Amino acid sequence: MKEELRQALGSSCTFNFVNNSGAAKKLALLPGIYPTMKSGVGTGKTINYSDPANLVNAGYTVDQVADDYDSGDATNYVQVSGSNRVKYRDLRQTVMYVGMHVKKIIIQNKATGATANDIFDQEIELSTTAIGTNGEKKYISLQQFVSTAAYDRSKITIDMSESPLYLGPQTFMAMNIPNGANFSMQFCYED
């Protein structure tokens, strides 16, 4: 089987992120061991899984925790959505209960205008959560993966095939999302 087809058939999931809140937001992509569930109030009581309070109390500086937002308050939050086949909460549940070895992260910028490339000026923060302490922080600088030789500069690929990144129950992952950002993030992982 050709290598391109084998890669196309590999396991992956893609999510869309849109920030029209009017301000940059630090978004926890994975909250580690900290619960993020919050019950709503009022007549349409709902439960959401995007409450950053426990992370903030533990010393992590975040504005929001990523979860599915099919509809919601676009003026205050980064909107996160998956596809009909995969929801963002599926990713969180997989990481929490079985873990995942990520071989590639592909980020496709969909924003236009003066701030279109601001997403590639960000870093992905990683650490291991533990009770009573913050783990050592490591960073993936997205700018390192922007190829000046590439014709399409709206996409970067963070290739970790040689040494896949393990995402497990203790993994904290966060990223600053600039105002006006509109991008997709694809996780390619080992089965």
Residue (of 191, 189, 188, 22) closest to 107 by Cα position: 188
Higher pLDDT, 40 or 64: 64
pLDDT at 166: 97
Would you list the domain boundaries of the chain? 3-189
Among the listed residues 127, 124, 12, 151, the one whose alpha carbon sits nearest the alpha carbon of residue 59: 127
- Amino acid at the residue 128: T
pLDDT for the residue 134:
80
Average pLDDT score over residue span 112-121? 76
Cα(119)–Cα(181) distance, integer angstroms: 7
- Which one, of 21, 98, 32, lies nearest residue 60 by Cα? 32
**Segment 1-56, tens digit of pLDDT:** 445 554 555 699 999 999 988 999 999 999 999 999 887 655 555 677 889 999 99
Question: Rounded to an integer, what distance in angstroms lies between the CA atom of residue 123 and that of residue 38?
Answer: 28
The pLDDT tens digits of the residues spanning 76-106 come to: 889 999 888 899 999 999 999 999 999 999 9
CA atoms of 69 and 88, how far apart (whole Å): 9
With respect to CATH, is domain 3-189 assigned 2.40.128?
no
Give the model's pLDDT for residue 142: 94
